[in-house]
Chain A
Amino acid sequence: MVLARPEVAEAPAGDAGPRGRNPWRGKASPRGAAVRAALLALPVAFFTLFFAYPVLSIVGRGLRVGDSWHLGRIAEVAGRSDILGVLWFTLWQALASTLLTLLIALPGAYVLARLDFPGKQLLRAVVTVPFVLPTVVAGTAFLALLGRGGLLDALWGVRLDTTVWAILLAHVFFNYAVVVRTVGGLWAQLDPRQEEAARVLGAGRLTAWRRVTLPALAPAVAAAALMVFLFTFTSFGVVQILGGPAYSTLEVEIYRQTAQVLDLSTAAVLTLVQFAAVGAILAVHARTVRRRETALRLVDPSHTAHRPRGAAQRALLGSVLATVGLLIAAPLAVLVQRSFDGPGGYGLVYYRALQSAEASGGTFLVPPLQAVWNSLQYALAATAIALLVGSLAAAALALPRTASGKASAAGRVVRGFDALLMLPLGVSAVTVGFGFLITLDEPPLDLRTSWILVPLAQALVGVPFVVRTMLPVLRAVDARLREAAAVLGASPLRAWREVDLPLVRRALLVAAGFAFAVSLGEFGATVFIARPDNPTLPVAVARLLGRPGELNYGQAMALSTILMLVCAAALLLLDRLRPDRSAGEF
C-alpha cells in the first residue's frame, strides 16, 4: 500500500551452516503437515478475507459487464496513449529514483556499517524517520528544501520544486533507510579480513572492494534496489504533492480513476498492470533473496566497525553526514522550526493550542492532541493483528520442508504464500479501501463502518514486516536445542516456550516495533476508509493543513513534529532491541 515502506530483505541465514542449509533442522512428518495447515489457517483466512477477496471483487466489478467478462477492455485501456505515457513515466522515474537512491545511500550504508562514531544510533534512527513519515508531512518538509527560499535556493539559487528532480530526491529521502539498512546490515556482518586477504594478494583498496566486497554485497544491493523500485513504482503521495500537475504515476492514476472519476474498468486494468509489474518485482526479489543465502562468512557486526582512519575515511564520513544533514535532517528540522515559530516569535503557542478544543475560536471539536491518542490506539491494534497473523505465518513457513517427493510441490505452495503476503505492499490503498466497501457489507462481516477496519487495513502492510523479521530467526533456531530440552525432560510445548520463545522474543519485539511505527504513519488506508470522527495523527495534520489560518498551519507543524518524535523514539527503541545477528534487517 502506498505509504508504507517495510524493509523486506531477508537476512542471510547466519549460522545455518554451509550454503544456508541446516542439516539439524529435523525431518517433517505427516503431523508436521497438519501443524503447518493449522498454523496457516488464520493467516490464509485473514489474507483472503481482507485482501484477496476485496481486491479481486473491485477488479472484477470493473471488468464485468452484466454477466460476462469484458476482457477486451484490457487491451483497449492498455493501448491508450495517455495510459502508456503514465506507464512510461512510472517506469523511468522508478528506475531513476532507484539508481539515485543507491548512489547516494551506498556510502551511507558503508559508514553506518563500518565506521564507529558518536551519535551513530541516532543517525540510524534519523535516516529511518522519513520512511515512516506520512507524505503529507514529508511533502511540506521537502518543499522547504527544494522550493522557493529553501535551502538549495538560499545556498545556490537552485529551485527544483516543480521539476522531476523534486520527485526523485524525495524518493531518495524516503528510501535512504531501505538501502542503508538492507545493505549496511549485511555489510556490517561481512568479515573485513576478506578484503584484507585480497589486499595482501596484491589488490589495491578499490580493486579489493570491487572484487571481494561488492560481489558479496551484490544480492543485498539487488534486494534493496528492488524494494526501492517497488516503493517508487507505486509512489503516490510524493508524486501528488511534489510532482505538480504535469506528472502522474500508475498509482496516482489508479487513485484518480477509482476515487475521483469512478471509472472502475480503467482502474481495474491499471490495477492489473500494476499487479503484473509488482508480481514480477517480487518474484525477482524472492530469487535474489534466496541467492543471498550462499555461503557468506558472517561475523559479529560489533567487531567490524572501527573509528574512522585516515583522511579518506574521515572525508567519507563527513560527506555522508553532510548528505544526510541536507537531504534528510534539514527538511525535518524545518518542520520543527516552524512548529515553534509562532506569531510572537519562538514559543509553544501551537503546542498549547493542540491541547484544547477551544483553540482560539473554538471550532476544533476535539483537541488535536486527541489524534495522538487515536493514532496510538489504532497503531497498537494494527500491531497486535499484524503480530498475530505474521508470526503464525512465519511459524508455518519456518517448519521443516516435507520429505523429498512432495517437497517441491509443498515447498512451492509455501514459497508462493510467502510471496503473496508481500503483495499488499504493491497494491494501491484505494483499491483495497474501495474493495472493502463492496465486500464487507453483509453480516457477519458488515465491518464498513466499524473502527476495526482501519487497523485491519494497516495490519495488511504490517504483516510482511513481521514475517520478514521472524522467518530468518525462526529458521535459525537449532533443532538440537529443542532436542536437548526434550532429553532434559521438557514436553514439546514446554521446549518451545523455554528454547524458542526466548530466542525469538527479541525478533518479535523488533517486528512489533516496526509494524507499530509504520501503522502510526500510515495514511492511505486511513483516508480511504470511511471512519467515525476520530482522526489519526496524519489525518489530523492533513485536516489542519486544509484550512486557512496561522494557528492551523502552526498546529499542523507541531503535530508533525510530535509524530516524528514518536516514530523516532519507536525506531531508537527498536535499534536497542535489535537482535545481534540473525533477525531481519530492521
Chain B
Amino acid sequence: MSTTKKIAVTALAAVLGASTLAACAGGSGDGSTGADGSGSRTVTLVSHDSFNASPDVLEEFTEETGYTVKVLKSGDAVEALNKEILTKGSPQGDVFFGVDNTTLSRALGNDLFIPYEAAGLERVPEAVRLDPGKHRVTPVDSGDICVNYDRTYFDDRGLAPPQTLDDLAEPAYRDLLVVENPERSSPGLGFLLGTAAAYGDDGWQDYWKKLRANGVKVVDSWEIAYNQEFSGSAGGRAAKGDRPLVVSYASSPPVEVLYAEPRPKTAPTGVSTGTCFRQVEAAGLLAGAGNEAGGKALLDFLISKRFQEDVPLTMFVNPVAEDAELPPLFTEFGEVIAEPRTMAPEKIAENRDQWIQSWSSLVLR
C-alpha cells in the first residue's frame, strides 16, 4: 500500500468514525422534542417546501408567547396535505399551513382541523376567508397566478404584451405561450380554474381549443416552463427558451429583480394583469395536536402585522391582513391585480377531476 493510499484510508476511516459522532451530536442539537407532551414549549408547524419565515420574526413569536416554533417541511402543497390526511388523529405537528382553494374541500372533508377563530381575524377581508363562520382554517396569504411576459422580447418587436385571456388566443401571440399541466402542477391548475371562472363551466373548453390552435405549449412543471421554455428567465436564456409568455405568479417580476445583480431599474418580466387567478392560502389547527394552546397562539401570530409583512419577501405572496404594508420592492416592481378571478373551494372540489380529464383529452391528445 502506497503512502497516498494509507493517507486516504486513514482519512476515510477517520471521517466515518467522526460521522457517527457528528450525526449523534446533530440529533441532540436538533431537539427531537416531538409534538406530543402537554404543556410543551414547542409548537410544530407542518408545511410544504415553499414555506419560509425570517428567523427574527419567529424569534419574536417566541419572545411574545414563550413557544419555540419547529418547522417541518413535507413535500409540495398537495403532498404535504395528503400526508396530514393519512396521519389524521396522530398528526406530525400542531398547525398545518398550506391549504388553498383547490385543496380545502379535501382537508375539511377529512375533518383535519379543529375550529379556532384567530385573534385579529377582523383585519382580514371577508372575501378571502375560506371557511366563513366555521373558522376551521385561518387565511394567511394570497397569491395570483398570472401570465408573465418577457419584456425584452416584446420591446424588441414593438409588440404590445397581451393583457387578457382573450389576447392570448390572438394570432399576434401565436406559439408564444407555455403553460403547466394542471394535472401535475399547481400553477397549471390555477390557470385552468381561472379560464373556467372567466368563460364559465361550458365555455372554457372552447377557449382552450382556441389556445391550442394558437400553439400553446404544455409542460409538466413550473420549473421546466419557467427555467427552460420561458425566454425571460436566466435559465430560459441559457437554454435558449423561445416562449416569451409563461404561466407563473404575479410576484415573479419583483422576485426577478430581487435575485438579480446588479439590481435593474425595471423588472425584466411583466404581468398580464387580466389573466390572473387568485388563490388564498390558509392554516389550521390539526385535530389531535399535542400542543393546542401553542397552535392557537401560532395561528394568531400568522395573521399578525409582523408576520404578514414578512410574507412577501419570504414566500413571494401577498399578505391578507389589511394593515400589512407591502415592501417597496413589491410596490415598485410589482403590479396591482385589480380584478383577479377566483373560485369557491366547493365548486373546485366538485368539478376539478372532471375538468382536468376533459382538459387532457382536449389539449394533450
Within the complex, are A and B direct neighbours (CB within 8 Å)? yes
What is the interface of chain A, defined by CB distance below 8 A to chain B? Answer: 140, 143-144, 147-150, 240-241, 243-246, 256, 258-260, 262, 264, 338, 341-343, 349, 353, 359-363, 365, 377, 380-381, 383-384, 387, 434, 437-438, 441-442, 446, 448-452, 455, 505-506, 509, 512-513, 527-528, 530-533, 539, 542-543, 545-554, 573, 576-577
Q: Which residues from chain B contact A546 at a C-beta distance below 8 Å?
A: 49-50, 222-223
Q: By CB atoms of chain B within 10 A, which of A147, A363, A383 has the most?
A: A363
- Which of chain B's residues 269-308 have a Cβ closer than 8 Å to chain A? 269
- Which of chain B's residues 239-289 have a Cβ closer than 8 Å to chain A? 239-242, 248-249, 252-253, 255-256, 258-263, 269
A548 partner, pick from B72, B233, B261, beta carbons under 8 A? B233
Contact of A365 with B54 at beta-carbon distance under 8 Å, contacts A246-B364, A553-B227 already known: yes
A550 touches B234 (CB 8 A): yes
B20 touches A434 (CB 8 A): no
A547 touches B238 (CB 8 A): no
Q: Which residues from chain A contact B8 at a C-beta distance below 8 Å?
A: 573, 576-577
Q: By CB atoms of chain B within 10 A, which of A243, A264, A353, A533 has the most?
A: A533
Q: By CB atoms of chain B within 10 A, which of A246, A545, A550, A553 has the most?
A: A550
Closest A-chain residue to B182, C-beta based?
A: A245
Cα distance, A260 to B82, chains bound together (Å): 7
B240 touches A149 (CB 8 A): yes
A380 touches B22 (CB 8 A): yes
A548 touches B78 (CB 8 A): no
Q: Which residues from chain A contact B198 at a C-beta distance below 8 Å?
A: none
Give how many B residues have a beta carbon under 8 Å from the other chain's beta carbons: 85
Q: Which residues from chain A contact B27 at a C-beta distance below 8 Å?
A: 450-452
A69 CB, min distance to chain B CBs, angstroms: 20
B228 partner, pick from A143, A260, A505, beta carbons under 8 A? A143
Contact of A361 with B220 at beta-carbon distance under 8 Å, contacts A143-B228, A149-B239 already known: no
Q: Is B87 in contact with chain A by the CB < 8 A criterion? A: yes
Q: Is B174 in contact with chain A by the CB < 8 A criterion? A: no
Q: Which residues from chain A contact B329 at a C-beta distance below 8 Å?
A: 361
What is the interface of chain B, defined by CB distance below 8 A to chain A? Answer: 4-5, 8-9, 12-13, 15-16, 18-20, 22-23, 26-27, 30, 32, 34-36, 44, 46, 49-50, 52-55, 70-75, 78-80, 82-83, 85-87, 90, 92-93, 106, 181, 183-184, 218-224, 226-228, 233-235, 238-242, 248-249, 252-253, 255-256, 258-263, 269, 313-314, 316, 329, 364
B79 touches A259 (CB 8 A): yes
A363 touches B258 (CB 8 A): yes
A-B contact pairs, 29 of them (CB 8 A): A147-B228, A148-B239, A244-B219, A245-B218, A245-B219, A260-B184, A343-B262, A349-B261, A359-B259, A360-B258, A361-B313, A361-B329, A363-B258, A365-B55, A380-B16, A384-B19, A442-B90, A450-B27, A451-B27, A509-B9, A531-B73, A532-B72, A532-B73, A539-B49, A546-B223, A548-B253, A549-B256, A550-B234, A553-B234
A449 touches B15 (CB 8 A): no
B86 touches A438 (CB 8 A): yes
A260 touches B222 (CB 8 A): no
Closest A-chain residue to B181, C-beta based?
A: A245
17 extra interface residue pairs, beta carbon distance < 8 Å, beyond A552-B259, A553-B235 = A245-B220, A349-B261, A360-B259, A380-B22, A381-B20, A384-B16, A448-B92, A449-B44, A449-B70, A451-B26, A452-B23, A530-B92, A532-B72, A548-B233, A548-B248, A576-B4, A577-B12
Cα distance, A187 to B183, chains bound together (Å): 47
B184 touches A245 (CB 8 A): yes
A384 touches B255 (CB 8 A): no
Closest A-chain residue to B219, C-beta based?
A: A244
Cα distance, A573 to B46, chains bound together (Å): 40
Q: Which residues from chain B contact A437 at a C-beta distance below 8 Å?
A: 83, 86-87, 92
Cα distance, A531 to B252, chains bound together (Å): 27
Q: By CB atoms of chain A within 10 A, which of B13, B32, B234, B269 has the most?
A: B234
Q: Which residues from chain A contact B12 at a C-beta distance below 8 Å?
A: 509, 512-513, 573, 577
A148 touches B184 (CB 8 A): no
A363 touches B220 (CB 8 A): no
B19 touches A380 (CB 8 A): yes
A530 touches B74 (CB 8 A): yes
Q: Which residues from chain B contact A446 at a C-beta distance below 8 Å?
A: 34, 36
Closest B-chain residue to A338, C-beta based?
A: B238
B44 touches A548 (CB 8 A): no
A383 touches B16 (CB 8 A): yes
Q: Which residues from chain A contact B220 at a C-beta distance below 8 Å?
A: 240-241, 243-245
A304 CB, min distance to chain B CBs, angstroms: 22
A512 touches B16 (CB 8 A): yes
B30 touches A532 (CB 8 A): yes
A553 touches B233 (CB 8 A): yes
Q: Which residues from chain B contact A530 at a C-beta distance below 8 Å?
A: 46, 72-75, 80, 83, 92
A380 partner, pick from B23, B83, B242, beta carbons under 8 A? B23
Query: Which A-B residue pairs are the 5 nearest by beta carbons?
Result: A549-B259, A380-B19, A149-B240, A381-B23, A550-B234
Cα distance, A531 to B241, chains bound together (Å): 35
Cα distance, A523 to B356, chains bound together (Å): 29
A361 touches B258 (CB 8 A): yes
B268 CB, min distance to chain A CBs, angstroms: 8
Contact of A259 with B78 at beta-carbon distance under 8 Å, contacts A381-B19, A577-B9 already known: yes
Q: Which residues from chain A contact B222 at a C-beta distance below 8 Å?
A: 546
Cα distance, A543 to B73, chains bound together (Å): 12
B38 CB, min distance to chain A CBs, angstroms: 15
Closest B-chain residue to A359, C-beta based?
A: B259
Cα distance, A525 to B253, chains bound together (Å): 33
B259 touches A361 (CB 8 A): yes
Contact of A377 with B22 at beta-carbon distance under 8 Å, contacts A149-B239, A338-B238 already known: yes
Cα distance, A551 to B263, chains bound together (Å): 11
B181 touches A550 (CB 8 A): no
Cα distance, A343 to B248, chains bound together (Å): 23
Q: Which residues from chain A contact B241 at a C-beta distance below 8 Å?
A: 148
Cα distance, A451 to B239, chains bound together (Å): 37
Q: Which residues from chain A contact B256 at a C-beta distance below 8 Å?
A: 548-550
A577 touches B248 (CB 8 A): no
A262 touches B258 (CB 8 A): no
B23 touches A455 (CB 8 A): yes
A383 touches B19 (CB 8 A): yes
Q: Which residues from chain A contact B22 at a C-beta distance below 8 Å?
A: 377, 380-381
Q: By CB atoms of chain A within 10 A, which of B71, B106, B223, B242 has the most?
A: B223
Cα distance, A449 to B73, chains bound together (Å): 10
Q: Which residues from chain A contact B181 at a C-beta distance below 8 Å?
A: 245
A86 CB, min distance to chain B CBs, angstroms: 14
A364 CB, min distance to chain B CBs, angstroms: 9
B86 touches A434 (CB 8 A): yes
Contact of A262 with B20 at beta-carbon distance under 8 Å, contacts A341-B238, A545-B227 already known: no
Cα distance, A243 to B220, chains bound together (Å): 9
Cα distance, A186 to B249, chains bound together (Å): 54
Q: Which residues from chain B contact A553 at a C-beta distance below 8 Å?
A: 227, 233-235, 238
Contact of A533 with B218 at beta-carbon distance under 8 Å, contacts A245-B364, A550-B260 already known: no
A261 CB, min distance to chain B CBs, angstroms: 8
Contact of A449 with B35 at beta-carbon distance under 8 Å, contacts A438-B87, A550-B256 already known: yes
